[in-house]
Amino acid sequence: MSHPIDLAISAGGVGAVTVARPSATVPIAQLRVAVLADSADGIVHVSSALRGVGDDERRHVALLILLAEAEQRFGHAFGAHWAIDAAVDVIAGSAWTDWPLMLALLAVSTDLSEWDHVPEAVQASTAYLAELDRNPIVDRHRIANAEMMRSIALFHHEGCDAGRDALRLVRSRVRSGSRLALAADAGLAAMEAGCMPGCEPPRVLPPVPGGILAPRPDRASPAWLAARIMRRSPVHTCGLALSE
């Protein structure tokens, strides 16, 4: 039987991580803390929970999305894509609709497209936005974050000016001082730095807003956007690059 999955943020921090009972019964929130601790144990616990998931399809999908995010944090592209593809397969064969899980899957799969630096990243981010427009439970934070994700794809694949223009438009629509504004401001600064030599990419990506690791788009780390922008150089269309 499949039951609704609680994606609420755990009240605990990321300190000492203890999984005292079999991983098959550990709550998603506790497994999330283990993954955020950036320990290989996080992947071990999520994988163990998957082996004992039984016929609870919603938990199965949530664990697969969480595993994809965990694998991505460690730079494991194959494992991340295997988990996302498996989650899609479970949902495709199900008779239920769980919008929070569907939105989490879309957020993480779109993020993986950009992380892979494939040309389809722009198309994936556009499709994500289109799906949000049709969804009955979407809020403005999730839409703004999705628009920011599209600005990353534009920056890396179509031109740094296009990415900057898209992100500036998002910034103009959000309240100054909000997490959305802080993320956009940091992202714009990263775009400027990305057009200069010597830009150092981050070692660890903060979770993408709206996935299992950061289920509340309004509480995501403001650093998530800049970290993704700085992972690679853009397609330069700026005056500085053209003058070199």
List pLDDT tens digits, range 189-236. Answer: 999 988 776 667 777 789 999 999 999 999 999 999 999 999 888 988
Residue 47: phi and psi, rounded to 5, are -65, -40
Q: For residue 97, what pLDDT band results from cuts at 50, 70 and 90?
A: confident
32-47 pLDDT tens trace: 999 998 767 889 999 9
Q: From its phi and psi, is residue 33 left (phi > 0), alpha (psi between -120 and 50) or beta?
A: alpha
Long-range contacts of 116-122 (CB under 8 A, 24+ apart): 116/77, 117/156, 117/232, 119/157, 121/152, 121/153, 121/156, 121/157, 122/150, 122/153, 122/154, 122/157, 122/158
> DSSP alpha helices (H): ranges in 135-204?
140-157, 160-173, 179-194
149-192 pLDDT tens trace: 999 999 999 999 999 999 999 999 999 999 999 999 999 999 99
* pLDDT value, residue 197: 65
The CA-based diameter of the chain, rounded to the nearest angstrom, is 62
Q: From its phi and psi, is residue 164 left (phi > 0), alpha (psi between -120 and 50) or beta?
A: alpha
DSSP H or E stretch at residue 104: helix 99-115
> Does the pLDDT value for residue 128 go beyond 70?
yes
* pLDDT value, residue 15: 36
One-letter amino acid of 181:
A
